[in-house]
Amino acid sequence: MRISLALCFLLGAAHAQDAGVADEPEAAPLVVGVYAPLAFFPNSSARNQYAAHVAQALEAATGMPMRGRGFAKGFSRDGVDFAIVGATQQAQAGYPALAQATWRGKSRRAMVLVVGGRVAGGNIGALKGASLARPPVPRAKAFVSNFLLQRQVDAGYFKTAGRKPSDAQGALSLVRLGRADATFTFEGNEAGLRRVFVSRPMPLPVFVQVRKDLPGETVAKVKNAITTVSVANSVFDGFAGYSAGVHSSLRGALKAGTKRTPPKPVVATPRTRLPPVPSFLKAGDPAAVLPRAADDLAVPDPPGDAF
């Protein structure tokens, strides 16, 4: 009888220990969001799948549970710990940047202006008044006129397409369907459309900390791990250390707004001074003839940023 009581006591204690272990709550996974509307994804499923692959790679590198979540229309801080956001979104929201997306080792990639089949013009000069599916970014007019076109045309040079796209895929679809004449997209994503202009290089998306109260150790682990992640999409294929200088021109362009007028057209200036025209000519004197100046004209480079 004593043996039976002792055995029951031991079994009960063991059961209590097992129950205690089972009742311990599992750590909630950290959520990695993806909201980079200029990065082309063919659909929401592809965006979500990319987010899931990045989260899986980070989980393997840090040992912390991770979950990916894609955002196509808007982005909320609620329920998101880290995120990959477009450079314009990061400049607007001011998230702490932990890493910079790269493409073949570079932190910038050119954007191109593409047009549909009904557009005959082959350059920006022929597209005045054309309808533009504006890039889905904050302060889109300033982004186009100040940054992509370096203030060589004013903000009203293009008409705005009637429908506003939520991402790069939507903007390209509007052009393909004839509901807009043109749009900007990252170089390499213009399949089926005609390129008429190559812009300056655009900073690629940024990996940021969204949730402010995360433990410092957690942030440090994720920051170190993200630079080892290599999950490619159509715009970027990896991450490197963040450098604020890469984004300085973009920030200035967005901050400048669109109220300033563009610079005056570039005027050719002569390399050599032309002889002066006589102030007075007597009646019957032959007209003053100036030498040909066409061969002596030098066109300066376009002006740089001035914000």
Q: Which CATH number goes with the domain that contains 149?
A: 3.40.190.10
Angle of helix 216-226 versus helix 44-62 axis, rounded to 10: 110
Asked if 214 and 103 touch (Cβ cutoff 8 Å), the reply is no
Comparing 94-103, 176-185, 249-258, 279-288, the range with the smallest average pLDDT is 279-288
Residue 284 — left, alpha, or beta (φ > 0 → left; ψ -120 to 50 → alpha)?
Answer: left
Q: Are residues 188 and 241 located together in one domain of the fold?
A: no
Q: Are residues 46 and 183 located together in one domain of the fold?
A: no
Q: Are residues 171 and 113 located together in one domain of the fold?
A: yes
d(CA 64, CA 106): 29
Whether 277 has a pLDDT exceeding 80, the answer reads no
Asked if 55 and 207 touch (Cβ cutoff 8 Å), the reply is no
Whether 214 has a pLDDT exceeding 80, the answer reads yes
Strands 66-70 and 30-35: parallel
What is the structure's pLDDT at 303?
47
Whether 7 has a pLDDT exceeding 50, the answer reads no
Determine how many CB atoms are found less than 10 A away from the CB of residue 229. Answer: 18
d(CA 177, CA 102): 31
Determine how many CB atoms are found less than 10 A away from the CB of residue 11. Answer: 10
d(CA 150, CA 153): 8
**3-class SS shares of the chain: helix, strand, coil, % to 5:** 30, 20, 50
d(CA 52, CA 4): 53
Comparing 6-15, 156-165, 176-185, 220-229, the range with the smallest average pLDDT is 6-15
Q: Are residues 113 and 219 located together in one domain of the fold?
A: no
In a domain, 271, yes or no: no
Phi and psi, residue 199, nearest 5°: -85, 180
Q: Are residues 125 and 157 located together in one domain of the fold?
A: yes
> Residues 237-249: what's their mean pLDDT?
94
Q: Are residues 217 and 93 located together in one domain of the fold?
A: yes
Quote the pTM value. 0.77
Q: Are residues 48 and 174 located together in one domain of the fold?
A: no
In a domain, 289, yes or no: no
Q: Are residues 130 and 241 located together in one domain of the fold?
A: no
d(CA 238, CA 101): 6
In a domain, 34, yes or no: yes
The residue range of the domain holding 231 is 30-107+204-249
> Residue 23 — pLDDT band, cuts 50, 70, 90?
low
Q: Are residues 88 and 116 located together in one domain of the fold?
A: no
Strands 238-240 and 97-102: antiparallel
Q: Are residues 189 and 231 located together in one domain of the fold?
A: no
In a domain, 69, yes or no: yes
Overall domain count for the chain: 2
Q: Are residues 100 and 117 located together in one domain of the fold?
A: no
Q: Are residues 86 and 148 located together in one domain of the fold?
A: no
Asked if 129 and 156 touch (Cβ cutoff 8 Å), the reply is no
